Copies of this chain bind each other. A is one copy, B any other.
């Protein structure tokens, strides 16, 4: 089924992917309406169902696509400025900002996928979602945890950072225009605060 889609012009593919990402990311699976996707990307209603059997099919495609694309970008992204935990964690967020050039709503969409619990799709996206989580973990595991390692149960600390960063991301998208630099600055501030603690 997806081969058909891939034989479209890349430009149109991305127009549709961006339209779906935006609506899914902002409203969640169930609340995203096909009419709104038509509105934001100008591709006719029938075409969505021509390429994707139904709404779950569309969601699972776009989610898988987005997760894979994110993993690709992550794998290509050079980690600069040191390999300690905090630098690596920050570097991932920098990488997300790069993704935005092609798929502006992808960073928000990635979080919404991880939180999506609608029974119609949660099973469908289980696997790519998990792989993405593992890819992130893998990158993080390559980091230098010397600053944290001494603490028994230090995973809780890293979880806290993850939650904080997610909240900052959500706030950023809520503002009229997403400003990547401002977002990155906020992330850095919070990471440093934690770093100082240890």
Contacts and interface: CB of A to CB of B under 8 A. Distances in A.
Interface residues of A, number: 21
Contact of A152 (B31, B151, B174, B193): B193
Contacts of A68: none
Interface in A148-165: 151-154, 156-157, 159-161, 163-164
A4 interface: no
B153 A160 contact: no
A196 to B, nearest CB: 6
Nearest to A195: B153
B160 A164 contact: yes
A190 interface: yes
Interface in A181-198: 190, 193-194, 196-197
Given A30-B31, A31-B30, A31-B31, A156 B164 contact: yes
A169 B163 CA distance: 15
Contact of A163 (B154, B160, B194): B160
Nearest to A115: B170
Nearest to A191: B156
B159 A164 contact: yes
A153 B193 contact: yes
Contacts of A31: 30-31
B164 A197 contact: no
Contacts of A197: 151-154, 156-157
Interface in A22-48: 30-31
Closest 8 CB pairs of A and B: A160-B160, A153-B193, A163-B163, A151-B197, A156-B193, A156-B194, A30-B31, A156-B190
Interface of A: 30-31, 117, 151-154, 156-157, 159-161, 163-164, 167, 174, 190, 193-194, 196-197
